[in-house]
A and B are shown apart, each in its own frame.
Chain A
Amino acid sequence: MLSRNPEEPIISVEGITARFGEETILAEVSFRILRGEIFAILGGSGCGKTVLLKHLVGLYRPYAGTVKVMGTDIAEAEEGELVELRKKMGVLFQSGALLGSLTLFENVALPLQAYTDLSPAAIDEIVRMKLALVNLDGYQNHLPEELSGGMKKRAGLARAMALDPEILFFDEPTGGLDPVTAAEMDHLIKSINTGMGTTMVIVTHDLPSIFGVASRVIMLDKGARGIIAEGDPSALRETTRDPRVVHFFNRQAAGGDQEER
């Protein structure tokens, strides 16, 4: 059952361990995501942020521990339960992951056609609305290969939002985007969160995004195989003493390459 208790976290991760073969990527990681917040997962390359995201959306089963989304253990859910849960979650993959053989319209309409009884006319209205929300109005009949990288991401977002999900997941939404387009993406994320109250979970290492958009973050580290910092990003930047966190937030090279000798 869907929990609407504001005290209860919308996602609760308890002691999950992620392994690939012999290698442990994440060891006993626990944290909570509250309803309505913009939560960011940060870290250097190889720290396991995308792996963690895939556990949260149920693409990977944890080696140990549980991931509870809206009260349900996503790895153990029955097929029917899982489909219901998935309708309330939208995922934006790194390059949009649009189905290449379908137009933008058909891509965004896919969940609507599969899960609602809406008439084609109604679906048409909703698809246009979603595309307009991401500033892709007019591009309904374009194929994904005809779009730029930024446009593909926005189209992917429109599709992820098709059913008005309660949680949206983003895998590096501003990756590879120029500063202006990246700022537009940040603005979009913020306005959807404000306008619809959707909980946002963002995997990113884009510092301006993090400080501009996220209300709370966790930082992962490859060596620690888990969380090394948690909290408000600006507060963390001011108060942290952990050199790994300092280097990350201040965009400093870890070895401190000295120019002068």
Chain B
Amino acid sequence: MNSRTLIPVLYNFEISGPAGGERTLTISGRISLETLGKFLADVEQFFPRTAPGGLRVDLSGIQYLDSAGALALLNLRERAESQSIPFRFVNAAEEARRLLVLLDRPTLHTPPLITGRRSANLFEQAGESSRALARDFWAVMGFVGELIRGLAYSLIHPRSVRWDDVLFYMKRAGMDALPIVSLISFLIGLVIAFMSSLQLKQFGAYLYVASLVAIAIVRELGPLMTGIIVAGRSGSAFAAEIGTMMVNEEVDALRTMGFDPTRFLAVPKVLAAMLVVPLLTLYADVFGILGGLLIGVMFLDLTVYSYVDWTLWSITLFDIVSSLIKSIVFAALISGIGCQRGFGVRGGAAAVGSATTSAVVAGIFLIIVVDSFFAVILHYVR
């Protein structure tokens, strides 16, 4: 036989025996997954067409049988039995017999344990979401309480703080973030300067670009952009780290050793963030102003001296101090929610992933909401 040509190997039905009496169905060939569809269709028509009084299925001609094939044969038997036609298999080869024995079990027909998941209607969804939101709020409040307790304890007992960990996170959240924070704030300063110059051109008031950039960056965009970057870098990292520790039972181990997980794991991260984010913000402020300076000097015919002079004239100590206080609050929010999401992880990798995402989203949301409050408060305090 030419091994290159594939001959479609199917099966063959051969009926013999007296009509109305016990008939013999000789099946030969190959019954497998590929031929299952056709086999079942043939079986559909078999009983109405032949109407046997009894059925004897001769399996001696079967060359190949897999589990789908065996299932098909059992299916045949079931149909016969449902029509009260006496049925037997004969002349099964040893392998075929073993396969039939393996599959012949009542569990083939077990009804599903879970019936029909009803998808919730709109009101049910709204209700569920509200409950989930309330539960989440409750959990966050609980954690905030724990964290404040932990931070207060650290203030009173500074030697109990894991300072090595604090330094480690200060480097990770602070130093390692310098390149990206400086780049982004530089570009933002650049863009603000450029966009505002297009308008101020009409008034020949290019010098005001300097004060616009300075005020926008120092009061709002510096702390905000830094906060968002830190949320993305460190908020997520804290959630992932603590979340993975939850999955590995490391947090359970800490508890059984008598350690308080909040003090051991969360406090160092929050302290590190609160120490380092204000510095990052100052850095962002400087680079933002530099971005504006570049535009001013290269495209707006301003001198470095006049730009810098006007910048220093526009920003006040109050601006800088309030912006630093804002950044400390942002730091606490971001690192806090990162840790809280991490502690909420139950399960496996998927849960860690969603906790990480949630930490970033919640962190950014909180920063922006609190920033609005600050905007209002500072406006009246000024």
Contact = CB atoms under 8 A, between A and B. Distances in A.
B95 interface: no
B267 to A, nearest CB: 15
Contact of A83 (B250, B252, B253, B258): B258
Nearest to A84: B258
Interface in A86-143: 86-87, 89-91, 93-95, 97-100, 110-111, 114-115
A261 interface: yes
Contact of A97 (B101, B252, B258, B259): B252
Interface of A: 54, 57-59, 82-83, 86-87, 89-91, 93-95, 97-100, 110-111, 114-115, 156, 159, 261
B249 A95 contact: yes
B248 A95 contact: yes
A97 B255 contact: no
A97 B252 CA distance: 8
Contacts of B2: none
Interface of B: 101, 244-245, 248-250, 252-259
Contacts of B259: 114
Contacts of B248: 95, 97, 100
Contact of B249 (A94, A115, A159, A261): A94
Contact of B256 (A57, A94, A98, A114): A57
A115 B257 CA distance: 10
B202 to A, nearest CB: 58
A120 to B, nearest CB: 14
B256 A110 contact: no
B257 A98 contact: no
Nearest to A54: B252
A58 B255 CA distance: 9
Contact of A93 (B101, B249, B258): B249
Given A100-B248, A261-B101, A93 B253 contact: yes
Contacts of A91: 252-253, 256-257
B262 to A, nearest CB: 13
A57 B258 CA distance: 11
A82 B252 contact: no
Contacts of B253: 91, 93, 97-99, 156
Nearest to B160: A114
Contacts of B101: 261
Contacts of A54: 252
Nearest to B257: A111
Contacts of A89: 256
Contacts of B250: 97-100
The 3 closest A-B pairs by CB, nearest first: A86-B258, A97-B253, A91-B256
Which residue, B101, B250, B252, B256, has most C-beta atoms of chain A within 10 A? B256
A99 B257 CA distance: 12
Contacts of A57: 256
B318 to A, nearest CB: 41
B258 A59 contact: no
B256 A86 contact: yes
Contacts of A95: 248-249
A86 to B, nearest CB: 4
A254 B252 CA distance: 34
Contacts of B245: 99-100
30 contacts: A57-B256, A58-B255, A58-B256, A59-B252, A82-B258, A83-B258, A86-B256, A87-B258, A89-B256, A90-B256, A91-B252, A91-B256, A91-B257, A94-B249, A95-B248, A95-B249, A97-B249, A97-B250, A97-B253, A99-B245, A99-B253, A99-B254, A100-B245, A100-B250, A110-B257, A114-B257, A114-B259, A115-B258, A159-B257, A261-B101
Contacts of A93: 249, 252-253
A227 to B, nearest CB: 24
Contacts of B257: 86, 91, 110-111, 114, 159
A114 B263 CA distance: 13
A83 B264 CA distance: 14
A112 to B, nearest CB: 11
B371 to A, nearest CB: 33
A58 B244 CA distance: 22
Which residue, A58, A86, A94, A159, has most C-beta atoms of chain B within 10 A? A86
Contacts of A82: 258
A147 B256 CA distance: 23
Contacts of A115: 258
A100 B248 CA distance: 10
Contacts of A114: 257-259
A52 B135 CA distance: 27
Contacts of A100: 244-245, 248, 250
A3 to B, nearest CB: 20
A114 B257 CA distance: 10
Nearest to B241: A101
A156 B245 CA distance: 15
